[in-house]
Structure 1
Amino acid sequence: MLWRHYDPETGTVGIAPERAQFLTELENLGGWPRIPRLLGVANGSGNGQDLGLPAGDLALELGRIYPGTKFYIQAQGDDVTVAELKRRFPTAEKTITASGLPELDSAPGSTLHSYKILADALKKAGATVDLHHENVCFVPSVSAVSIRDLDEQKDLYAPVDELAPDESDLDDFLLSFTNTTHTEVTEELATWLIDRLPD
């Protein structure tokens, strides 16, 4: 989650210092532990198919105390608008843009009802909500099984099922047949994992 981090003090977006420090310390120790067998399961599918969320589409629009506030599905490009924030009291407006990011919200992976969580919280604060897309990708499949980075669209949407399993940092892994909710314990994943645990 610290792959891209917004620093409110500088207004910049980049790799969080904590992630950089973790990766450096991990590398200094020789990488991931090699004595244990590294197993992984993912709630995301391995077929490379997106979640069907059109890039740039309106995800959530607010009214009343936040009239005209809008949140959009992440699109590729430079200076792509991801949110238009507007407040009535005290009056304030700000457009939030992102540059150089792939289409993360619709990537193959586990889903989380992120915009519903946001909509429910803002409704409690007095806003009216028009929710267009409740769920977005939370952990991309390629990240969950440590087989690709997230910086490039082609890697984020890579069909993991077609990749050589030894490209992963894990010894063995299983992806869900379809994209499911983040941390959902499915029979498919649980059975696979239990079958690989020592007696």
Structure 2
Amino acid sequence: MRFACTIFLLLLLFAQGTVLAKGNVIRLHVIANSNSPGDQQLKERVRDKIIAELGPVFAEMEQRQVAAWLEDNQDVLVNLAAVAVTEAGEDCPVRVRFTVEGYPLRAYRENIYPEGRYRSVQVILGKGQGRNWWCLLFPPLCFVSETVAEPGEGQEIEGRIWLWEKIKELFRKLFQGSCQQDSFFVFPD
């Protein structure tokens, strides 16, 4: 047991960042009509409008509240995007859908979000065939300055995640059958 605790503490010191559970994350994904400069600018205007309006709404909410609000207010998201489109002098249909989709590894501040499938709110402009933009609605990192891993830092982050996965595997093997369901050693997947 002492060995396991030592490994756990070393992991915490080494990681210098938190690998967050995918189930606690909700992403905003804005997809442009096309890759034309005008459509890309429109995507950014829609993004800015949604972030400006929803930032204060989500500021004090917990994850479940954000998810419920999004599901109950899909029309608000459509209207925000439509207003941004109209203000830009464009005529482009807007769709919103809730889905689960794959995202690459990303670091925001001290938190690490591994590559994988996450819940998303997609705002699709027109045909939705252009480059996209995404951020985290929850935790609310769309509304603050993002810190994205610089080129070369990804290997360090991937190494930390690899180590985290190996240590979780070790703990599962060490404590398999000896820990109860409500054990201290419960790891996010």
Higher helix share: 2
TM-score, normalized by length of structure 1?
0.25
TM-score, normalized by length of structure 2?
0.26
Higher strand share: 1
Question: Whose relative contact order is higher, 1 or 2, with alpha carbons under 8 Å and at least 6 apart?
Answer: 2
